[in-house]
Amino acid sequence: MEKILLESKIRTLINHAWDSEVTWAEIEAWLNNFDGSFLEKSEEQLYAIFAISRYMYFGKRLVREMLKSLYRDHFYSPMRQRIRRNFNGTLDHRIIDNAYTLELNSTRFIGVGNPSESGAHLLYYFRQVNYLSKDLFVDLAAALTYQVSRDRSEILYDIREKKITRLVFFDDIVGSGTQASEYLTPYLSGIKATNPSIDIRFMSLFATSAGLSKLNESKLFDGKAMCLFELDDSFKAFDADSRYFSTSPPWFDRQKMFDLTEDYGKKLWPNHPFGYKNGQLLISFSHNTPDNVPPIFWAVSGQIPWAPAFVRYHKQ
């Protein structure tokens, strides 16, 4: 009976919250991965279907709305408020609009990572939904020139367009912050060395509290990294204050869910059964699933064949 109720809930999620971008056939194939190798098969599948009923999935339509909010709340509105202050609190829209246009035209948005990765991919939709010029978007190679320092100890970067006063780096989600930090640190260090007055910022849709704190270190964005939704430790599936399982039914045993996730997770991704850096997130987007999510939800294969519930396009 419990499983039937959960199936009904997931079908409702698929049709109304997930915009039918995930199908019941895919969920059913995923449930069949749980074959009774750890607990009784019926019990494994009951735990699995309960976990996925608490999962957060963001489809194309919702992601586009969030991209509008990100631009409005963390760029457009704060910038216009600052302009008003600089003009003694003016309410003259012509003054504000003209000054904002100058600020926007001296800004470049840059996706974190390779142009084929999710950050750069989402910038396409970010530009569309906010009606921005394509000239405001570049990759690092187009934005920067470089030279080796005199003592050959570091690479110094300079901005190609001298009118540029602001760089805004963009990604969809920040997990541990390790990958973004490792990728960006050399560039940011080199840019700051030759352009100490440039305004360097970071924006993302989601970020864990730990990842956001890491990006806000002085050697990175120095307090100018921001996100639309901050994921504190309650968004870790097995944290003591986990919001996913805080209102579980009487039959649900969190330790069993933990052990089930770990047992199958080790077969799929031995070093990270709960997701990269023990991420424990339960979140996916229409364009990808972060590796901070336990692999039982997204893996295609490991030591055992596996059908994913949510697609992850792993980096090659």
Closest residue by Cα to residue 224 from 206, 194, 205, 199: 199
Which among 175, 209, 231 is the end of a domain? 231
Predicted pLDDT at 94: 95
Residues 14, 112 within the same domain:
no
Residues 92, 76 within the same domain:
yes
3-state SS class at 285: strand
Residues 42, 148 within the same domain:
no
Structural domains counted in the chain: 2
Residues 196, 89 within the same domain:
yes
Q: Which residues, other chains included, contact 103 with Cβ-Cβ below 8 Å and sequence gap of 6+? A: 79, 83, 166
Whether residue 188 is contained in a domain is answered as yes
pLDDT in tens, the chain (316 residues): 677 888 888 899 988 888 889 999 999 999 999 999 999 999 999 999 999 999 999 999 999 999 999 999 999 999 999 999 999 999 999 999 999 999 999 999 999 876 656 677 889 999 999 999 999 999 888 888 888 777 777 777 888 888 999 999 999 999 988 888 888 888 898 888 888 899 999 999 999 999 999 999 999 999 999 999 999 999 999 999 999 998 899 999 999 999 999 999 999 999 999 999 999 999 999 889 999 999 999 999 777 899 999 988 766 5
Of the chain, the end-to-end C-alpha distance in Å amounts to: 43
Whether residue 6 is contained in a domain is answered as yes
Whether residue 268 is contained in a domain is answered as yes
CA atoms of 274 and 270, how far apart (whole Å)? 10
Whether residue 14 is contained in a domain is answered as yes
Predicted pLDDT at 277: 92
Residues 110, 128 within the same domain:
yes
Which among 203, 231, 259 is the end of a domain? 231
Q: pTM of this prediction?
A: 0.90
User: Please, what is the Cα angle at 247 between 243 and 249, to 5 degrees?
Assistant: 140
Whether residue 20 is contained in a domain is answered as yes
Residues 79, 103 within the same domain:
yes
The secondary structure element, H or E, covering residue 283 is: strand 283-285
Predicted pLDDT at 1: 65
Whether residue 304 is contained in a domain is answered as no
Residues 213, 150 within the same domain:
yes
Q: Specify burial of residue 70 (Cβ count, 10 A radius: 0-12, 13-18, 19+).
A: buried
Domain that holds residue 259: 2-54+244-297
Predicted pLDDT at 30: 96
Count other C-beta atoms under 10 Å from residue 5's C-beta.
12
Amino acid symbol at 212: L
CA atoms of 244 and 55, how far apart (whole Å)? 8
Residues 146, 216 within the same domain:
yes
| Helix axis angle, 24-31 to 41-53, nearest 10° | 140
276 CB-side CA count, 13 A: 16
CA atoms of 258 and 224, how far apart (whole Å)? 36
Dihedral through CA 110, CA 115, CA 121, CA 125, nearest 10? 50
Predicted pLDDT at 217: 94
Whether residue 236 is contained in a domain is answered as no
CA atoms of 241 and 29, how far apart (whole Å)? 31
The conformation of residue 2, written as its DSSP 8-state character, comes to H
Q: Is the dihedral of CA 279, 49, 266, 239 positive or negative?
A: positive
Whether residue 249 is contained in a domain is answered as yes
Residues 266, 134 within the same domain:
no
- Using an 8 Å Cβ cutoff, are 118 and 112 in contact? no
Count other C-beta atoms under 10 Å from residue 210's C-beta.
17
Residues 100, 192 within the same domain:
yes
Predicted pLDDT at 191: 87
Residues 87, 199 within the same domain:
yes
Predicted pLDDT at 316: 55
Residues 88, 202 within the same domain:
yes
Predicted pLDDT at 187: 87
* Residue 213 belongs to domain with CATH number: 3.40.50
Which among 179, 208, 231 is the end of a domain? 231
